[in-house]
Chains A and B, each alone.
Chain A
Amino acid sequence: MPTTTKSFAAPGPGTWELETAHFPRPASRLVQHATLAGFAAGFAESTARFGVMLSHLQPAYVNDFAYMQAVPFGAPPGAKGPPPRAVFWLLTRAVPKLRARVTASHDAFERKLWREDLNEWDARVKPAADARHRQMQALSVEKLDARELAAHLAECVANNAAMVRQHHRFTITCTLPIGDFLAQVGAWTGRPTGEILAAVRGASAISLGAARAELQALAEAVARDPAAQATLDGDGPAADTLARLCDAGGDVGSAARAYLDVVRHRAVGYDVCAPSAGELPDTLLGAVRAATRGAGSRGDTDGARAISSLRERVPVEHRARFDELLAEARHIARLRDERGHHSEGWAIGITRRAVLEAGRRLAADGQLRDAALLLDATPEELDRFVTAGRVSEAERAELEARRAWRTTKSVSDADVPKFLGGEPGAPPPVDWLPERGRRAGRAVEAVMTGIFQEPAPAGAEAIKGLAVSPGVYEGTARLVDREEEFGRIAQGDVLVTRATAPYFNVVLPLLGAIVTDRGGQLCHAAIVAREYGIPGVVGTIRATAKIRDGQRVRVDGDTGEVTLLG
């Protein structure tokens, strides 16, 4: 354990909450820079467009941990909680900019504004971002001279900020219809958030989902080509198999190249320190194999089942409305993942490539012990190191210290406060708002309490273990203890067991993820999860006691959390 103790002070007036959903560890300086530059601005644009009374979440970093402050629209800086009801009532009815906000929220529902946004995303924003990223990754960074590499890095840094902003410009777009569905269906049925969300999401592997179309095209091309099928099923390192698919003639070669082109420089995590998909050939190959086997089709069946059982619980008179709200939520659902994948998810992977190239050069010159150390530099340091071609002793030590801190500290450490500046007061009750603003208020409330603050839906229970194989997967838990029970495992299930035994290899190709009570990062279960490229969490101690057979779970192989859904 790092012996350094650091003090955590509130980064400004008001209350700040530790962000645990996306950054379970301290963030790199590069990602901090992008978040500080783009997050709040994009978020505020999104809330303004939809007339949401929350202006934005304001990020700040304390000892490299992300803290967020909810900033209500029109509130004084650092305000803790709303003014008294009478004052609030008066403000929202008398102050023109607040009234305009309420009107905007009403109009957004009337116009189904999210549909316009999704059209804009599909027609303009996403294609432009993809084109930009393709252009950036087409550059051969290894051929650039120091000045050119520094310029490219500066472009990456600016692009990261722009992409974080782009992502959050669509935050309310994709969350409002889902929050609206959650709030209304929750009121009708009283069901937990996880169960209601299952109807929206269906079930499928979320990881690498960005390239679903390209992956599907590749799977179909392989299915039509026995030689390619043999290559795919063949022996040898995953990277070689992928290279052989790319070299194949006809549809398979072009589909494989197209797929790798979109995923190669895609960040698998949220930080520049996480490997890009192209650095995980086994995971990619696993995805291709799963796609050719039609894995994931089960997910749709699960989604359909979740919808019909939820619909049964809705009073008959609300069912038509239920169908309408569900249609909107499902229509927009893909944007939730897409906005990240096509924005900073790609931008950060391209940045990583450039930083590692710069790091390799400095390491070759004896300036750094290893190339990856440079991932912990700030944008200014990057520019200076690359341009000057040298790193001082003190700077090297600083990079080492940052890396040690980043790789060993976690949000679950006892010395990392969940709140700074006190705990936040409750937001104003939704019924203080004018009638026309309440629907948006309820939707935002449902999302904020249900999705945003926790990696898991509200009420869901998380089990913590050791993350041993990256990726996020949702599916049906199958508690299996002995070989004789293997017959119960269906394609896409999550295996939950005390410890895996070698005979589990028989069922591994079927699994969507693995969770065990026991074991470390180097035990069989961990090794095979990595070999098969499926998310794995081991050493949870109590997974088999807490998870029911048949229950839906989310397995996060990056944070080590297993969440019970519904």
Chain B
Amino acid sequence: MIPLADAADGARYGGKARGLALALRAGLPVPSGVALSPEDAAAVATRGLDDGEIRALAQLGVVAVRSSAIGEDGAAASFAGLHATVLGCATPDAVREAVRRVLASAHTKAALAYRAKLGLTDPPRMAVVVQRLVDAEISAIVFSRDPVTREDHLVVEATWGLGEALVQGLVNPDRFLLSRAGAPRSVSLGDKDLEIVRDGAALVEREVDAARRGARTLGDAALLEVARVVPAAEALVGGPVDLELAWRGGALSVLQARAITR
């Protein structure tokens, strides 16, 4: 287990860890965390965390355990949502269980079907990232190139609570098209009728009250902030970027930065 900032070796710690490590080094606001190689992760899954690991994790508080697959970056595929992310782990046992789930997610029927479609025949190798969980009040996904029209503007979708609701498509989010300088070209407010939030160690899906459902999530200042993060993130991945962002108390965190597949 090593600090996330040192996990830029993608062959050992996977694509997600690499992206986050580089982002940390570039000064982007990435929540602190650690990375586990597939071997570290297998050890944690079988024997549990050792004392050093428990101490390291205690520094982070409640954490998110995320998959970081190795050797699939070149596949130009998103693995959108296939590999598990376990949010809200508060104890060493919970982390161990989450690592098991993340490792197992590489072998689900859906993941194997997707690998077959991509022609990936080698057994999947999965590293793991453990990060401080950001209890997001607002979450957003940003594409720095329009994935449909391929136009050169930023597409931002945002909702209340944790980003899982966006990624899984559980809400109709707010949608912003921004010039690269961050000026809104279009704003379309969604109907964010539910949000995912953390309640202790559990994530709960709860109804959003009437006043907030249709209210705008990101103001012009937050959108400008998004536009400022994009060039730095693009420089890291070497092209158009797909970002996951979270805000708590007005402070922005970058949860993921990767090259756009589609």
Q: Please tell me which stretch of B7-15, B42-50, B54-62, B76-84 contacts chain A, meaning at least 4 of its Cβ atoms lie within 8 angstroms of it.
A: B76-84
A-chain residues with CB within 8 Å of residue B186 when the two chains form the complex = 1-2, 407-408
Do the beta carbons of A1 and B187 come within 8 Å of each other?
A: yes
- Which residues in B have some Cβ–Cβ distance to A below 8 Å? 74-78, 80-82, 108-111, 113-114, 117-120, 141, 143, 147-153, 155, 157, 166-173, 175, 177, 185-188, 190-191, 242, 261-262
A370 at the interface (CB under 8 A from B): yes
B-chain residues with CB within 8 Å of residue A372 when the two chains form the complex = 151-152
Do the beta carbons of B147 and A521 come within 8 Å of each other?
A: yes
B-chain residues with CB within 8 Å of residue A520 when the two chains form the complex = 141, 157, 166, 169, 172-173, 175, 190
Inter-chain CA distance A513–B90, complex, in Å, is 41
A-chain residues with CB within 8 Å of residue B110 when the two chains form the complex = 502-506
Do the beta carbons of B175 and A469 come within 8 Å of each other?
A: no
- Beyond A408-B177, A505-B82, list 5 extra A-B contacts (CB 8 Å): A235-B74, A407-B153, A466-B172, A499-B168, A516-B169
A518 at the interface (CB under 8 A from B): yes
How far apart are B100's CB and chain A's nearest CB, in angstroms? Answer: 18
Residue of B nearest to A525 (CB): B169
Residue of A nearest to B171 (CB): A518
Do the beta carbons of B147 and A522 come within 8 Å of each other?
A: yes
Do the beta carbons of A527 and B172 come within 8 Å of each other?
A: no
Do the beta carbons of B74 and A236 come within 8 Å of each other?
A: yes
Do the beta carbons of B147 and A541 come within 8 Å of each other?
A: no
Do the beta carbons of B149 and A541 come within 8 Å of each other?
A: no
If over half of A's interface residues share one DSSP class (helix, strand or loop), that class is named, otherwise mixed; here it is: mixed
B-chain residues with CB within 8 Å of residue A516 when the two chains form the complex = 169
Do the beta carbons of B152 and A538 come within 8 Å of each other?
A: no
Between A and B, how many residue pairs show CB distances below 8 Å?
Answer: 136
How far apart are A517's CB and chain B's nearest CB, in angstroms? Answer: 8
Q: For the side of the interface on A, what is the size category?
A: 35 or more
A320 at the interface (CB under 8 A from B): no
Do the beta carbons of A501 and B152 come within 8 Å of each other?
A: no
Q: List 6 A-B contacts (CB under 8 A).
A: A235-B119, A505-B117, A506-B109, A519-B168, A519-B169, A522-B166
Inter-chain CA distance A530–B150, complex, in Å, is 12
State which residues 492-528 of A face B: CB under 8 Å. 499-506, 508-509, 516, 518-528
Inter-chain CA distance A299–B147, complex, in Å, is 29
How far apart are A372's CB and chain B's nearest CB, in angstroms? Answer: 7
Inter-chain CA distance A499–B191, complex, in Å, is 15
How far apart are A197's CB and chain B's nearest CB, in angstroms? Answer: 28
**Contact A500-B169, Cβ < 8 Å, known A470-B148, A524-B81:** yes
How would residues 522 to 548 of chain A score, 1 for a CB under 8 Å from any chain B CB and 0 otherwise? 111111101100000011010000000
B-chain residues with CB within 8 Å of residue A272 when the two chains form the complex = none
Task: Select one of A237, A500, A521 contacting B157, CB under 8 A.
Answer: A521
Question: Which 8 residue pairs of A and B lie closest in terms of their CB atoms, listed nearest first?
Answer: A519-B169, A523-B169, A530-B262, A235-B119, A520-B157, A408-B186, A234-B119, A502-B81
B-chain residues with CB within 8 Å of residue A503 when the two chains form the complex = 108-110
Inter-chain CA distance A541–B190, complex, in Å, is 11
Do the beta carbons of B169 and A499 come within 8 Å of each other?
A: yes
Inter-chain CA distance A1–B177, complex, in Å, is 9
Inter-chain CA distance A516–B120, complex, in Å, is 29
How far apart are A172's CB and chain B's nearest CB, in angstroms? Answer: 34
B-chain residues with CB within 8 Å of residue A509 when the two chains form the complex = 113, 117
Inter-chain CA distance A566–B15, complex, in Å, is 48
A-chain residues with CB within 8 Å of residue B167 when the two chains form the complex = 523-524
Residue of A nearest to B109 (CB): A506
State which residues 459-503 of A face B: CB under 8 Å. 466-470, 499-503
Do the beta carbons of A499 and B170 come within 8 Å of each other?
A: yes
Do the beta carbons of B157 and A275 come within 8 Å of each other?
A: no
Inter-chain CA distance A408–B146, complex, in Å, is 13
